């Protein structure tokens, strides 16, 4: 029985790999749009639910306590001053004056 399930799963995976490039592009665009929507929903939840925000800060920043990165991590959850983030931008602390 387990072998049959594995064969079915393998067949589905292989069939998915045979999709046309246009279909793959379409599903990629759909995935990107879905990702943007989920990110916006997450940001809305972080900004509107203080318990959720506190939970995420503990989970994402807790291991950084005692380091210079902790305050920066916590500040990233500040909705009132959280501009769009450019991941390639040099942090202000590392800019040459």
pLDDT tens digits, 12-64: 444 444 444 554 455 667 888 899 899 999 989 999 999 999 999 999 999 99
Indicate whether 47 belongs to any domain: yes
Q: What pLDDT is recorded for position 9? A: 44
pTM for this entry: 0.50
Domain total of the chain: 1
Query: Bigger pLDDT: 32 or 82?
Result: 32
Q: What pLDDT is recorded for position 20? A: 47
Indicate whether 62 belongs to any domain: yes
DSSP H or E segment with residue 84:
none
Indicate whether 65 belongs to any domain: yes
Q: What pLDDT is recorded for position 52? A: 92
Indicate whether 31 belongs to any domain: no
Distances (CA, A) of 84 to 8, 23, 43, 91, 92: 44, 31, 11, 14, 15
Indicate whether 94 belongs to any domain: no
Indicate whether 44 belongs to any domain: yes
Indicate whether 63 belongs to any domain: yes
Question: With DSSP H G I counted as helix, E B as strand and the rest as coil, what are the percentages for the chain, rounded to 5?
Answer: 75, 0, 25
Query: Bigger pLDDT: 78 or 4?
Result: 78
- Flag whether pLDDT at 94 surpasses 50: yes
Q: What pLDDT is recorded for position 79? A: 84
Domain that holds residue 72: 40-78
Indicate whether 58 belongs to any domain: yes
């Amino acid at each position: 029985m387990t072998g049959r399930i594995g064969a079915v799963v393998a067949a589905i995976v292989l069939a998915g790999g045979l999709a046309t490039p246009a279909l793959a592009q379409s599903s990629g665009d759909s995935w990107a749009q879905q990702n943007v929507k989920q990110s916006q929903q997450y940001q809305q939840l972080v900004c509107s639910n203080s318990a959720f925000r506190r939970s995420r800060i503990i989970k994402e920043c807790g291991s950084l306590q005692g380091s210079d990165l902790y305050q920066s991590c916590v500040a990233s959850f500040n909705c009132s001053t959280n501009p769009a983030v450019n991941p390639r931008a040099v942090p202000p602390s590392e800019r040459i004056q």
